Amino acid sequence: MSDKPLTEFRKIRIAKAEKLVEMGFNPYPSKCSRTHYAKTITDNYDALEGKTVTVAGRLMSWRKHGALTFGHIQDQSGRIQLYIRRDILQDTDQSRGNIGYAHLKLIEVGDFVEAAGRVTRTERGEISVRPDTIRLITKSIRPLPEKRSGLKDREAVLRRRYLDTTMQPHKREAFENISRMLFAIRTFFNERGFLEFHTPVLQPLYGGGTAKPFTTHVNALGCDVYLAISHELYLKRLIAAGFDRVYTIGKYFRNEGIDRSHHPEFSMIETMTAYENYEYNMDLVEDLFRYVAQNVFGRTVFRVNGREVDFGRPWKRISMVDAVREVTGVDFSKCTSVDEANARLSAMGINEPQASAGLCLVKAFEEKVEATLISPTLVYGHPMDISPLAKPMDDNPDYAERFEIFIGGMECGDNWSEQNDPVRLLETWKSKQQSLMLAAEEIHPLDYDFIEVMEYGMPPTTGIGPGIERMAMLFTEQDNIDDVIFFPLMRPVLSPLNAEIYGIDERVYVERVAEGDILITMDEFVSLLEDGIISPPASRVTVRPYLRFWGDLGRGRTSGYLEIEGLIKDKRLRVVGFAPAPGKALHDLTDTRKLRAVIESSVRDGIGGYFPDCEIRIHGVILLHDPRLHAG
């Protein structure tokens, strides 16, 4: 009986590693002695020709020609060819870890190797290292993807990014540039006298925004906390503490939609500057983007959504009222009533009545203007209705000292003069809380501790908050956020193949209850049936048994649940605590027919009698494993 290809491949490679151990080699040594990166050698060939160098990296190609062997080693900098000659390569020497020509078959594509030898050119002119010695640094026991195409399946790329960047090294560029970007951002702020702080990710209250948070629990304190949806309230506490210029490059967590420009976990650079207002920040934001463009990318013109965006020119600054008037011809500042404003809205084809004239302006802006703002534009003067943490403008208190950054039709940051009047802040928050409770049945926490901070006093302050990923998308010219986040969040999966390799007998399913499903216990279910409360609206009920086996086969326990469709209209019922045939050994998994028969009779005996006229379809048993036991 032969194995599946991957299983066989893996066994062969493990056998080679074992052979190496038998021979006295360590296939996983801890040290290597690289002297040069590949690119250093190809860039400085004239100076290095004939010199002895040591290179190390992953073996990406391997061409045997009898007494000659060619291959390419790939390191972080690039690739360089190995030109191996039988008459030059030293013999196998376990004490030094050297692998001689006779044993070269023990290393292969995918392995990490180290080669020491002279820098030379082959007859075809390729700069190469001609090794005197070759050492195996790390044995690889999985096959690399197809060498020409690499990974193409999007899911495979996202789940195994390390393979994608191995096969197509140019795909590392965006990530390298993001790293440089972060360094440049820090340099930019540090040079301007800002101090970087780490603010809490675990927060007892979530504030500074209206997003849905992730919740978690602190055992030691016995209380629930939230992952940060924003860091701004903590930065303001730092200003109150006497620091004039602070920033954080923090992680933000928002339990909301995922699409090509939204990710549940993202990063932002957030600043607070005391003794300045939003106008200072307009200059700061513009300088920041220009600084990053020039210092990291060496240019100011980028392509965003197929259109050119120039960060070098002075950015357009326009009030929201003017921006809407420019595009639609409607001047919302002249609207004297909500009804008038809503009439203007519906005249431009937006039939969603808003609660205030300010909200009408915002709606018109979002619908008609936002997508047209390709060149970097700062839009200021938001209605106070939507700016609870911002200060009103002196000359027009209906509008906030606030601006948003728009680039390529995408919002890239929100910024304002911080409201530091504690009495007004409290009033605003309370009324906002009430309206939100009425409107959305959502309770937003009031952070009284923060109000107290404001009562002690915070000097005039202004902050900016450009998103790192949005910025990275602009500068690396990617249109999908997954391509600027190396490890995007995905549902966990365990392939049947891995389940087999790692000795997990059954298919692994992640147990979860979808929204809208009803979860009840077996006892509750039975009593509902007995009382006749549940009866099928349709003539057919579909039952899917899910079972989990604990402990040793033949002796362990069985638990599971039934998924039942057709008993409650449009809902799926999940009955937990289903124990088929109590007392019987169900663990003979090899006889699936017998297993199924036992489950079927158990289900039919259990519920079939309650509605005799109904067809009950029982699907094959699905075996569960606790994913937590086998994660990773």
Partner RNA sequence: GGGCCGCUAGCUCAGCUGGUAGAGCAACGCCCUUUUAAGGCGUGGGUCGAAGGUUCGAAUCCUUCGCGGCUCACCA
Cβ proximity of 247 and 189 under 8 Å = yes
The minimum distance between CB 425 and RNA, in angstroms, equals 19
Closest CA to 432 of 421, 443, 420: 443
3-state secondary structure of 480: coil
Sheet holding 202-203, edge to edge: 202-203, 223-227, 215-218
For residues 145 and 560, which CB has a smaller minimum distance to RNA in the complex? 145
Q: Which two tokens stand for residue 45?
A: 């060939």
The minimum distance between CB 49 and RNA, in angstroms, equals 15
Classify strands 557-568 and 307-310 as parallel, antiparallel or unpaired. unpaired
For residues 206 and 297, which CB has a smaller minimum distance to RNA in the complex? 206
The minimum distance between CB 346 and RNA, in angstroms, equals 16
For residues 296 and 401, which CB has a smaller minimum distance to RNA in the complex? 401
For residues 184 and 323, which CB has a smaller minimum distance to RNA in the complex? 323
The minimum distance between CB 573 and RNA, in angstroms, equals 13
Q: How far is the C-alpha of 296 from the C-alpha of 273, rounded, in Å?
A: 25
Closest CA to 41 of 11, 75, 8: 75
For residues 274 and 383, which CB has a smaller minimum distance to RNA in the complex? 383
3-state secondary structure of 502: coil
Q: Residues of 184-195 as b/e, b for ≥16 C-beta within 10 angstroms? A: bbeebbeeeebe
Q: How far is the C-alpha of 24 from the C-alpha of 571, rounded, in Å?
A: 63
Classify strands 223-227 and 265-274 as parallel, antiparallel or unpaired. unpaired
Amino acid symbol at 227: L
The minimum distance between CB 106 and RNA, in angstroms, equals 9
DSSP state for residue 262 in the 8-state scheme? B
For residues 301 and 371, which CB has a smaller minimum distance to RNA in the complex? 371
The minimum distance between CB 532 and RNA, in angstroms, equals 27
Which residue pairs from 547-554 have beta carbons closer than 8 angstroms and sit at least 24 positions apart in sequence? Answer: 547/578, 547/580, 547/586, 547/599, 547/621, 547/622, 547/623, 547/624, 548/623, 548/624, 548/625, 548/626, 549/506, 549/586, 549/587, 549/589, 549/623, 552/587, 553/587, 553/588, 553/589, 554/585, 554/587, 554/588
Amino acid symbol at 441: E
For residues 163 and 451, which CB has a smaller minimum distance to RNA in the complex? 163
The minimum distance between CB 215 and RNA, in angstroms, equals 16
For residues 274 and 468, which CB has a smaller minimum distance to RNA in the complex? 468
The minimum distance between CB 74 and RNA, in angstroms, equals 12
The minimum distance between CB 340 and RNA, in angstroms, equals 23
Q: Which two tokens stand for residue 487?
A: 């490890």
Q: Residues of 120-143 as b/e, b for ≥16 C-beta within 10 angstroms? A: beeeeeebbbbbbbbbbbbbbbee
For residues 249 and 526, which CB has a smaller minimum distance to RNA in the complex? 249
